[in-house]
Amino acid sequence: MVDRTAVPLRGRRILVLRAGEQAGRFVRSIEELGGEAVVYPVIQIVDPLDWGPLDEAIAHLERYRWLVITSANGAVRFAARLARAGRRVPETTRVVAVGAATAAALEAASIRVDRMPQRFVGRAIPEALAGDLGPGDRVLLARGDLANPALAAELAAMGAVVDDLVAYRNVPAGGDAAGLRARLQAGEIDYVAFTSGSTVHNLMDQLGGPAALGRARVACIGPETAAVARSRGLPVHCEAEPHTLEGLLRAIVHDAEKEAGAR
């Protein structure tokens, strides 16, 4: 007999909305737990419209006391531009990474990480730098085009001089929306895994609204994503803690076990 405790997602289908090249690890984790991943990317990660501002900042990194990277996508793109310029992060510039995946991507590119906020959300950065960010300190913030602009404003309010630059863009990706809607309405998908606010908006825009999800339960990677989901009329059934893909998968497992116990 199959040990159901070893495959807690057996018989569950999870809709994975991450960009295609990023879905692999999450899909494998779902399958290892007995689940089936339905991959339907709703975002694509692409270059900024103009690399000029970020390249200029990289050429003068010694100006900055802090370099802040808020996502793994930002880490990969920043590291590539840094390598292209033949530069390294100066010892005088301290590096802040939001989340373990971001830190791992930086370290894989031989960029040291000096600080990682305990909570994996962007607004945790001002808290992590409290007491160490002095008036006039220059901060290079390399982020996605859809990242919360409040972070730069909060750092500026603390006295920092912030260069808030785009390292990548999130653009909508489309697929067979009618086919996906039919599967959701037929109850073939158990969970929708939202990993960012843009995945919420793009999926809802393609499907036409929250009713299209049918009985599928909503799982969100963190409070900011959950807030966007609720703003689009979706119930949030489970939320990751910590706010990582691993945390998201654990939240889905816990919710699935709870649901099974209630039957």
pLDDT at 119: 63
Instruction: Write down the mean pLDDT value for the chain.
Output: 91
Mean pLDDT value across residues 36-51: 95
53-169 matches 13-45+173-262 in CATH topology: yes
Residue 107, C-beta contacts closer than 8 angstroms, at least 6 positions apart? 113
Q: Quote the CA–CA distance of 110 and 95 in Å, as a whole number.
A: 12
> Does domain 53-169 sit in CATH 3.30.2130.10?
no
pLDDT at 121: 59
Please tell me the CATH code under which domain 13-45+173-262 is placed: 3.40.50.10090
pTM: 0.84
| The Cα angle at residue 185 between residues 179 and 189, in degrees rounded to 5 | 80
Q: Quote the CA–CA distance of 169 and 163 in Å, as a whole number.
A: 17
Domain spans of the chain, in order of start? 13-45+173-262, 53-169
Of all residues in the chain, the percent with pLDDT exceeding 70 is 94
- DSSP single-letter state for residue 72: H
pLDDT band at 125 (very low <50, low <70, confident <90, very high): confident
Angle between helices 177-185 and 197-207 (to 10 degrees): 90
Of 127, 156, 128, 121, which Cα lies nearest the Cα of 141?
156
pLDDT band at 263 (very low <50, low <70, confident <90, very high): low
Phi and psi, residue 172, nearest 5°: -65, 145
Please determine, for residue 149, whether its predicted confidence score (pLDDT) is greater than 50.
yes
